[in-house]
Structure 1
């Protein structure tokens, strides 16, 4: 644990100084400790570190999943804070261009990668559709913050579209994992999973806030920040536990729990959310990303042709469909391409998709590696593109919210 956290924090710090997404450095730290580097150079040392006793794998897996849950929880309640929303017409166009078209083409083209399928064919097609469409809210938000773009209409439109898109895609992933686990073997079963998942979302977003308010006033109303932090964590785990009982994907449940917390913009809860985000982002999430890197085996599970084909096809589909969609919303070609590049940032959610689908037995190690590398490279490319655009013209993305449209 010490080595994983040191490697993740050091890698993140290094990449941040190089003006690159921190998550890439955290994964790189894990790659150094994994079979790709340490395992290849000193296999016995790698084995003594990560296979020292029988229960070690289960222990690390527990940290892996807890970090993943906290990543999605904090992503959910930071959506509102970091500027979700946007102009209706462009957001609608972006959702069509970056969700519907890429998902449909990814689903239809799943047969190109059929040799990486381990589980149910339908679940595999759903995962490939999601992989072609996913956008990272945390990574693109961080890029916008680093470049001073978060307050611009451009950033609000991207995050607003990505929020709608990811809610739909996580619902689809819940269906995919249910199908893989035999809980939706036919059309009726799939319909039941969809209804339960949507019911969980509706109950969470529309009824849970009232319950939380009542509990806060009657039970925990007099507590200070420290107990509130504990109760907020309890809320997250309650959502995850209920989702587990209902066979709803627990990663999706953590995101929904975060969205419920975003419904409480109270100044008293703001420091509580920040405490949880700090603990997650600086401890559990780096360990999660380091473990993702540690599980990557670029020596034996890196298929160059497969990875290149997936990245090229999925990126081309998303760039073209999103650019044309933005163009239909009366954006010029340059701005439309900016939207395409920004929405192609897969970052954390792309890695989460790889983690969940691999853990569920839907994809093999080669596709897991391809999805993680696609997430890293697209995040890197977006940061470079937007920085280059700003260097050429500091006012290219317009002013802050309330200024004239971009």
Structure 2
């Protein structure tokens, strides 16, 4: 690589990070999720805006020499891995509480039914399929069922709802959903890569994936503790940060060798690290989260926006049909499930809207499925836009509900044996300090 090529590469990184941070700041000031602003920053720098104004400048900045695409792709994947690694911390921290009855209802209504309908309805979108039919069906099922923990958590935090049982129920259900759906995505990518051509092959993929999870969650922590005692001794906080990132990369590299999806492996690594309760590790996780969400993750989301070519890849009918159909399925099934759990229709609709927030996980799904060759660029664009619009809709809806009635969520509590909600013992405007580990918001 020549000096001029190296200078151009660093300039592209500067522009991507600056665009993402500026866009995120503007959207945060507008009380909207940062992730949308970070993507918009990439869209402005990409073929959708800069490419229309000055195609030569856009090409010179981001694809001016052969190796530049590979270098930016490395940042893309590293940002995605760190996003999922830190997301594992947050899942463990925020998914622990909630009404068992409501969480179970939302797992059925927000996961099983939407996934089944998305899987069955994949044939309606076959024009956007590139890869294996089964992998495509699995991806479409996930696309309809996914809920964003980071974005909905940030919305709850901004609105002062984080300590309400309503928020705990939504996050608890979304945590269970996402763990299951990331497992399914790992299977889908394995199918796409030709690791399973028949029922026996699919069984092997599932067995390897589950074995990886079981070893990671139940064997890896003991191995880590043993290595610390016998090999490394005591860690400083700085060195522990390095070893924690090393553990993440070990998980990702091992998963790659086993043909397990690396994004899923990074999530599992985060879940493993969340099981260590040391106060030193809590600080280390925060250090990693800080550098991730303010450097690598914004570059990742900016690159997502950079890859969107709305002038040539946007299929209006496909996008509108997918967003409308998937939203209707998710909203109705989650609302009806909440109603069966014993809450009033108005509160049940709140659950439906909250569970329909696709956010960062929806964008990650689009990225992984597109990179694996499962979906084409039109469906990639549709999935990203669906994630953006549903996140905006949730924030606007919950804010409007609070404007109309500031105390509307004070009774959005756990469902008791009578089938009615019990009032929360904590004020609805109480704020809690969230580990911003997964800030895909």
- The answer to whether the superposition gives a TM-score over 0.5 is yes
Is the aligned partner of 1:242 residue 2:257?
A: no
Give distance in 1, aligned partners of 2:336 and 2:41: 38
SS in 2 for 1:55: helix
SS in 1 for 2:312: coil
SS in 1 for 2:387: helix
Following superposition, the deviation at residue 401 of structure 1 comes to 9.0
CA RMSD across the alignment: 1.5
Residue of structure 2 aligned with 1:282, choices 294, 304, 308: 294
1:86-136 CA distance string (max 9 Å, x none): 111111110000111001111111111110011111111111111000011
Indicate the residue corresponding to 1:257 in structure 2: 269
Indicate the residue corresponding to 1:13 in structure 2: 25
Give distance in 1, aligned partners of 2:411 and 2:287: 31
1:250-295 CA distance string (max 9 Å, x none): 0001011111111122211111011000000000000000000000
Following superposition, the deviation at residue 151 of structure 1 comes to 1.5
1:6-405 counterparts in 2 under 5 A?
A: 6-398=18-410, 404-405=422-423
Give distance in 1, aligned partners of 2:406 and 2:277: 32
Q: Does the Cα contact within 8 Å between 2:79 and 2:297 map onto a contact in 1?
A: yes
Give distance in 1, aligned partners of 2:93 and 2:145: 24
Q: Does the Cα contact within 8 Å between 1:134 and 1:165 map onto a contact in 2?
A: yes
Q: Does the Cα contact within 8 Å between 1:151 and 1:401 map onto a contact in 2?
A: no
Following superposition, the deviation at residue 218 of structure 1 comes to 3.2
Q: Does the Cα contact within 8 Å between 2:77 and 2:300 map onto a contact in 1?
A: yes
Give the direction of change, closer, same or farther, for the CA distance of 1:400–1:382 in structure 2 (3 Å limit): closer
Following superposition, the deviation at residue 396 of structure 1 comes to 1.9
Give distance in 2, aligned partners of 1:242 and 1:178: 15
Give the direction of change, closer, same or farther, for the CA distance of 1:198–1:380 in structure 2 (3 Å limit): same
Give distance in 1, aligned partners of 2:356 and 2:412: 23
Give distance in 1, aligned partners of 2:76 and 2:147: 22
Give distance in 2, aligned partners of 1:218 and 1:331: 54
Give distance in 2, aligned partners of 1:389 and 1:114: 38
1:215-265 CA distance string (max 9 Å, x none): 233334422210010011011111111111111100001011111111122
Give the direction of change, closer, same or farther, for the CA distance of 1:272–1:186 in structure 2 (3 Å limit): same
Is 213-222 or 334-343 further displaced after alignment? 213-222
Q: Does the Cα contact within 8 Å between 1:83 and 1:151 map onto a contact in 2?
A: no
How many corresponding residue pairs? 406
Task: State TM-score, norm by structure 1.
Answer: 0.97
Give the direction of change, closer, same or farther, for the CA distance of 1:57–1:90 in structure 2 (3 Å limit): same
Following superposition, the deviation at residue 399 of structure 1 comes to 7.3
| Unmatched runs of 5 consecutive residues or more in structure 1 | none
| Unmatched runs of 5 consecutive residues or more in structure 2 | 1-12, 415-420, 425-441
Q: Does the Cα contact within 8 Å between 1:239 and 1:253 map onto a contact in 2?
A: yes
Task: State TM-score, norm by structure 2.
Answer: 0.90
Give distance in 2, aligned partners of 1:209 and 1:392: 48
Is 76-85 or 136-145 further displaced after alignment? 76-85
Give distance in 2, aligned partners of 1:380 and 1:50: 29
Give distance in 2, aligned partners of 1:10 and 1:177: 34
SS in 1 for 2:235: coil
Give the direction of change, closer, same or farther, for the CA distance of 1:48–1:267 in structure 2 (3 Å limit): same
Give distance in 1, aligned partners of 2:116 and 2:411: 35
